[in-house]
Amino acid sequence: MFSKILIANRGEIALRILRAAKELGIRTVAVYSESDRTSLHTLLADEKFCIGPARAMDSYRNIANILTVAELTKADAIHPGYGFLAENARFAEICENAGVTFIGPPPSIIRLMGDKNRARQEMIRAKLPVIPGSDKILEEIGEAKAAAQKIGFPVIIKAAAGGGGKGMRICRTPQHLEEQFPIARNEAKAAFGDPSVYLEKYLSGAHHIEIQVVVDKKGTIIVFGERDCSVQRKYQKLIEESPSPFVDERLRKRMMGAVESAVKAIGYQNVGTFEFLVDENKKYYFMEANTRIQVEHPVTESVYGINLVKAQIRAAAGEKVTFPFELQMRGHAIECRINAEDPTTFIPSPGRIDFLVLPGGEGIRVDSAAYGGWVIPPDYDSLIAKIIAYAPNRLLAIKKMQTALEMTTIVGVKTNIPLHLTILANSDFQGGTYSTQLMEKLLPPNGTPK
């Protein structure tokens, strides 16, 4: 096992990793930017080092500074969390060459799955169903039009080098495609440094379902049941739950089996998430694989009674990952992402939290690095907390979450709690009949919830 882990991240995920490391008896090193000097992960780590100014490129994405701290502190492993350098194959490679274990998949796997178009082709070879799309990178509008004609409208433009909604555009007509194609390429280049895009068939009314895996270096493959991440605004997830109200046992087993076969085919290691769109006829299609711990991992932990971050660390250390009980989904878990933003305009609301009361009680988990008096910097994502509600069944979990949100008090910044309460009260959500179109129904063009 590792003796010391450097946590190359910030906020709630840095705190989550720090807690898991301490429970495993591992010392921790926090790195932080100048604007995160008073963040909780810096206050609670065994050692802490400032690695640059607020701008992420100068701090949390500054590979040279992070590796220098690892060398100074004699850290034998680096955990990248999610975002920043978590899916950067070059960073993983540099860690490997420096003799520091990167807690994640090997660089070759990160590189493969990071190229979304190449990953599609690899999954086709692994006999995993993929959404109909172009079989190559599209550089000219003429190529894009020809591909769209073959696929059939509507189509969606996707950035080959990343995700999270960047470089993505839905196109319903050839004219719309012509307008959006250069915009998507420019956005992809700005976000990922690579303008490469490809096309996929756009499936309206689909469900966004993901399957979690943990694979150790001894060849143990553990595949977990699904998370439903269909509640999204502009491809950004808002609410996740497990199990999905849409997925039945037969579909679950088929998807889990398909993912296990794909994992074996590509030689996957460590944690990862295979993401799918599932149509109304319960036909599933591979979209992408994320080679890191996901923001929404707590809902899987809740229904299985496990700790995925500990499993990730153990797998990276070369240990066999096992659990002292039968892995079985029990009960229901829902996660709401609480962001510092205006609930109607979605404009970020950074600033000082003057007063903070987070919920608690039976079945409520809060993952957060926020505290009263903390100043939310404008330089990073606006996540304040993840609230996870767990109960024996879905309706009780929804009620428990509604109560938790109503008892959450955050003074000094605006939050999206009112939007979450609107979603949870929606009849489609409560009935489990919602899809990725839910937010389009709830939000008119001006953005104000109906």
CB contact at 8 A, 132 and 201: yes
Kindly calculate the radius of gyration of the chain based on its CA atoms and give it in whole angstroms.
Answer: 21
- Choose among 72, 390, 19, 413: nearest CA to 240: 390
SS (H, E, C) 171-191: ECCHHHHHHHHHHHHHHHHHH
| SS3 (DSSP) at 358 | coil
- Known catalytic residue at 125: no
Beta bridge partners, 169, equal 157
Q: What is the dihedral of CA 14, 19, 23, 29, to 10 degrees?
A: 50
Catalytic residue among 16, 61, 233, 292: 292
**Helices 297-304 and 308-316 meet at what angle, rounded to 10?**
100
**Helices 116-125 and 249-266 meet at what angle, rounded to 10?**
100
Distances (CA, A) of 273 to 2, 121, 239, 253: 24, 18, 17, 16
Indicate which residues carry an active-site annotation: 292
